[in-house]
Structure 1
Amino acid sequence: MPPAAMNARPDSLRSRLLRRLWWPLLAVLVLSAVYEYDQALTRASDEQDLALRLVAIALASRLDVDADDARNDDLGWHLGRTLAAMQRADLTDRLMFVVLDSQRAVIGGDASLLPLADAGAADSSPYADRLVNGQAMRVVTFPHPSPLGPVTVVVAKTTHRRAQQAQRVLIDTVPPNLLLIALALLLVRTGVQRAMSPLNRLSESVARRAPEDLSSLPLEPLPKELLPLVGSINRLMTHVRTSVESQQAFLSNAAHQLRTPLAGVQTQIELALRDATESQRQRLLKVQQALQHMVHMTHQMLALARSSSQAASVEDFESLDLQQLLEDAASAWLDPALAARVDLGFETAAATVRGSTWMLREMLGNLIDNAIRHSPRDGRVTVRCGCTGAGRPWLSVEDDGPGIPMDEHHKVLERFYQAPGARPGGAGLGLAIVREVVQRHGATLTLGRAEKSTGLIVRVEFPPAG
């Protein structure tokens, strides 16, 4: 596939529907407008032809009245007066006539119209469009059995009024039809948008979902055309949720299965240290140190996997006392702090957070472990918790170690990354676990410089528990 085709934006269902409806509807409406204009123009032309025929009939009737004067020279004059009276009723167009007897002799009128009478006799229709002296005229030929014998009345009229009437018909039909076309297309567009609104709501509902939300989509407000699609999505959600639960169970079992043999090896090393010679003791201590590093890394990798969005999607959050969580951490991390000759202090205040107990405990443990590991001897680590004025619970861990440069803050949150100058023994997973837990709880993570030293302060602020 060409790159341009791959980068082209896919066509939307709404635009497809609009094209499928707009073009046929537009064609029908345009044809309807053309037909309406043609019919209106034909009716107007028929009315003009009828008026022209009535003029011819009036002249023929005048012949019937003046038949007794047929041998007088004033018959043509009487016909002329009749036509002049009719001309006064319509000053827009010019009327001309000629009356011929059966011998094609001119009884009255304009003899220059004689060729029109000859042409009209050959036509099947009494009406014709002719050029008279270079001017377009509408001509009617009317045979009449008068008392003088068969006569032919030919009346010609210029087409100025016809042109004006055609223009009025165009003005009267085209703008309303254009408005009708625009209104119909607008109604079609509105109808398509309303018909597509359930699909839009479904799309917005899926887009607003958190990555860990694998619950089924509701079926109630959807039209039946969308039910197969939503049903398939729900079945996929069920499969994914089942897979995640199996992964969670596997991780729990793996953590248990790994800890047991590692704990056994560590116990055996401690027993061996009791009876070991000095040279053996040095080697066993190195093995013990490596084993502890392995245990720590294994624990962190399992915690990172369990706290990821895929594994944490099945976690049930509950209301937790953040102050109690810190007090539990105090008892768990006091001995490691004493062993590292670090003053571990806690400043707690009442705060309630909604979350997962084990994930928050893991996050807090990694923050305290990092702080102790990077603090100097006789250093200080302070763990705090509380609640902001806006009702957002928070916790922070502050140390007086070397700190982390500002340009390294975003990097140390990546997996297996260690800042330059970091103390050996870490796996580069502690802050990555913290970031995963923070994301799962919808919290914010901030790294900054300690207030009274060059150390690091890590602050986590949670959404309101309510």
Structure 2
Amino acid sequence: MTGPYSLQRRLSLLLTLLVLALWGIATLAGAVIVRHELDEVFDSALQELAQRLLPLAVETLYRDDPTDGPRHIAALAGHEEYLTYLVRDADGHILIRSHDADPSAFPGRPTPGFRSFRDVRLYTEAGVSGTVFVEVAEPLGHRREAAWEASLGLLAPILLLAPLSLLAVWGGVRRGLVPVTLLRRQIERRGDADLTPIAGLRLPSEIAPVAGAVNRLMARLDRALAAERSFAANSAHELRTPLAGALAQTQRLIAEAPEGPLRDRAVAVAASLNRLSHLSEKLLQLARAESGLFPPGPPTDLAPLVPMILDDLIRAAEGRLLIDPAAPLIATIDPDAFALLLRNLVENALKHSPRGTRVIVRVLAEAVHIRNQGPVVDFDRLRARFARGTTRASGSGLGLAIVDALAAATGAAVAFRSPAPGAVDGVEVVLTPPA
């Protein structure tokens, strides 16, 4: 499967090739036109020269004494002669010739008008009742050279402007795609829980339907997520009261039942109800975590909150949980979200550390470090919902899912290290709230 391509690069390349092709066609057409115009100019020069030479040649022939051979017109100075001429009679005998004229380049008999002979362009003018002919010749190579130089003159500016046109096209396409870039950036800046409509952008008619479709998709997704969160939260909340009542009745039954199978069954029912109550509480926390309703607040020192958040866990751990507030922890995270994050991480550490070992919570200047002993843990697998490690400790398998959801909603960072730094086993979790 091929990767994504750049629309800007593709449009720029296509437009540049199109411009160069049009310029090439224009240059070719210009060269053809220039060649045609040059032929007309050179033909006019041949005709003009022949008509001017004819009366002079006639006057020279009748004024001077006749000779046995052709008269040779000497040049005033040596030069390359592009236009050569012959003065001949009707039988083709040469009467007068220019100094550089080659008789073999002329046809045997003169014929009035324009004609091409071998690689020469000729014009013949007749006089004295068709008895004297002036033939002027020009090499066609001279014309081709002039046409080629003129074409190069047309092509040179194009070669100079081609890089500039490429830059201009690239800049124009990039400027034209600014609305697409703004739309992409606005979508990228949104958090996972931000499903508000895209607004405030002046989009062209080609892009506006895309933004509208994205807004409608986000609205449908928001309604679906809201329904899911509402169901989980309502279910967990509605289960609290009947679970509490059932648990109270079960505990009363345990107190009143005599020793034996009945009390054992009552104890098992109470344990199941406790697990169900814990699961409903975790589902409620997960619904709150995924709601994204944790806006950042002003910078607050979270270090004094840590003992308060973990107070009941400290009492239940019976000396296994130690807190070391080494430094103030200033952050902008919502205190309620921080409490949910910290409690879930510490609960996991207490559940999965061996009996007789301690869980140490250290509050440093930028993060909270939670360290416990135990076997090496593969956290990539345990981050899935309802996934649990090889442990006998009770739990719902939602702790790390809640942590991930809260971290994504608040911008906090949670790093898991196993084995713990400086040890061969154990776990250290680093909770870094947003500053």
TM over 0.5: yes
Q: Could you tell me which of 181, 191, 204 is aligned with 2:185?
A: 204
Q: Could you tell me which of 274, 283, 299 is aligned with 2:265?
A: 283
Separation in structure 2 between the aligned mates of residue 335 and residue 462 of structure 1, nearest angstrom: 26
Report the equivalent of 2:84: 95
Q: CA deviation at 1:193?
A: 1.8
Separation in structure 2 between the aligned mates of residue 24 and residue 374 of structure 1, nearest angstrom: 68
What SS does the aligned partner of 2:364 have? strand
Q: How does 1:235-246 map to 2 (within 5 A)?
A: 235-246=216-227
Separation in structure 1 between the aligned mates of residue 293 and residue 265 of structure 2, nearest angstrom: 45
What SS does the aligned partner of 2:381 have? coil
Separation in structure 1 between the aligned mates of residue 106 and residue 358 of structure 2, nearest angstrom: 126
Separation in structure 1 between the aligned mates of residue 19 and residue 59 of structure 2, nearest angstrom: 59
**More off after superposition, 445-454 vs 196-205:** 445-454
Q: Is the 8 A contact 1:438 1:460 kept in 2?
A: no
Q: CA deviation at 1:460?
A: 0.6
1:430/1:112 Cα in 2 relative to 1: closer, same or farther (>3 Å)?
Answer: closer
Q: CA deviation at 1:278?
A: 0.6
What SS does the aligned partner of 2:125 have? strand
1:282/1:113 Cα in 2 relative to 1: closer, same or farther (>3 Å)?
Answer: closer
Q: CA deviation at 1:56?
A: 1.9
1:214/1:89 Cα in 2 relative to 1: closer, same or farther (>3 Å)?
Answer: farther
Is residue 144 of structure 2 the alignment partner of residue 157 of structure 1? no
Report the equivalent of 2:368: 395
Q: Is the 8 A contact 1:97 1:153 kept in 2?
A: yes
Q: How does 1:295-306 map to 2 (within 5 A)?
A: 295-306=277-288
Separation in structure 2 between the aligned mates of residue 89 and residue 43 of structure 1, nearest angstrom: 30
1:266-297 CA-partner distances (Å, limit 9, x unpaired): 11101111210111222211221222122223
Q: Is the 8 A contact 2:53 2:134 kept in 1?
A: yes
What SS does the aligned partner of 1:346 have? strand
Report the equivalent of 2:100: none
1:134-179 CA-partner distances (Å, limit 9, x unpaired): xx222111123x4x76633223333343343233223322232333
Partner amino acid, structure 2, of 1:95: T
Is residue 388 of structure 2 the alignment partner of residue 373 of structure 1? no
Q: How does 1:52-71 map to 2 (within 5 A)?
A: 52-66=46-60, 68-69=62-63
Is residue 333 of structure 2 the alignment partner of residue 355 of structure 1? yes
What SS does the aligned partner of 2:193 have? coil
Report the equivalent of 2:208: 227
Separation in structure 2 between the aligned mates of residue 357 and residue 246 of structure 1, nearest angstrom: 26
Q: Is the 8 A contact 2:413 2:433 kept in 1?
A: yes
Q: Is the 8 A contact 2:387 2:397 kept in 1?
A: yes
1:217-249 CA-partner distances (Å, limit 9, x unpaired): 342454454334324433433443344344333
Report the equivalent of 1:252: 233
1:182/1:38 Cα in 2 relative to 1: closer, same or farther (>3 Å)?
Answer: farther
CA RMSD of aligned residues (A): 3.4
Report the equivalent of 2:392: 423
Q: Is the 8 A contact 2:243 2:277 kept in 1?
A: yes
Q: Is the 8 A contact 2:282 2:399 kept in 1?
A: yes
Q: Is the 8 A contact 2:254 2:263 kept in 1?
A: yes
Q: Is the 8 A contact 1:75 1:107 kept in 2?
A: no
1:370-426 CA-partner distances (Å, limit 9, x unpaired): 233234555433333232xxxx3x223333x4x2316x2433333333333x23323
Q: Could you tell me which of 319, 323, 332 is aligned with 1:346?
A: 323
Separation in structure 2 between the aligned mates of residue 114 and residue 130 of structure 1, nearest angstrom: 7
Separation in structure 2 between the aligned mates of residue 284 and residue 362 of structure 1, nearest angstrom: 32
1:329-375 CA-partner distances (Å, limit 9, x unpaired): 2332244223xxx4333223432332344432222222222233234
Is residue 18 of structure 2 the alignment partner of residue 35 of structure 1? no
Partner amino acid, structure 2, of 1:97: L
Separation in structure 2 between the aligned mates of residue 459 and residue 16 of structure 1, nearest angstrom: 46
What SS does the aligned partner of 2:389 have? coil
Q: Could you tell me which of 453, 457, 464 is aligned with 2:428?
A: 457
Report the equivalent of 1:264: 245
Report the equivalent of 1:293: 275
Q: Could you tell me which of 294, 312, 319 is aligned with 2:291?
A: 312
Separation in structure 2 between the aligned mates of residue 182 and residue 41 of structure 1, nearest angstrom: 28
Partner amino acid, structure 1, of 2:19: L
Separation in structure 1 between the aligned mates of residue 36 and residue 18 of structure 2, nearest angstrom: 27
1:108/1:251 Cα in 2 relative to 1: closer, same or farther (>3 Å)?
Answer: same
Is residue 363 of structure 2 the alignment partner of residue 382 of structure 1? no
Q: CA deviation at 1:74?
A: 4.0
Separation in structure 1 between the aligned mates of residue 131 and residue 293 of structure 2, nearest angstrom: 107
Q: Is the 8 A contact 1:273 1:281 kept in 2?
A: yes
Q: CA deviation at 1:182?
A: 4.8
Q: Is the 8 A contact 1:18 1:192 kept in 2?
A: yes
1:365/1:166 Cα in 2 relative to 1: closer, same or farther (>3 Å)?
Answer: same
Q: CA deviation at 1:303?
A: 2.5
Report the equivalent of 2:407: 438
Q: Is the 8 A contact 2:376 2:425 kept in 1?
A: no
Stretches of structure 1 that go unaligned for 5 or more consecutive residues are 1-6
Q: Is the 8 A contact 1:93 1:159 kept in 2?
A: no
Stretches of structure 2 that go unaligned for 5 or more consecutive residues are 98-102
Partner amino acid, structure 1, of 2:86: F
Partner amino acid, structure 1, of 2:370: V
Q: Is the 8 A contact 2:295 2:410 kept in 1?
A: no
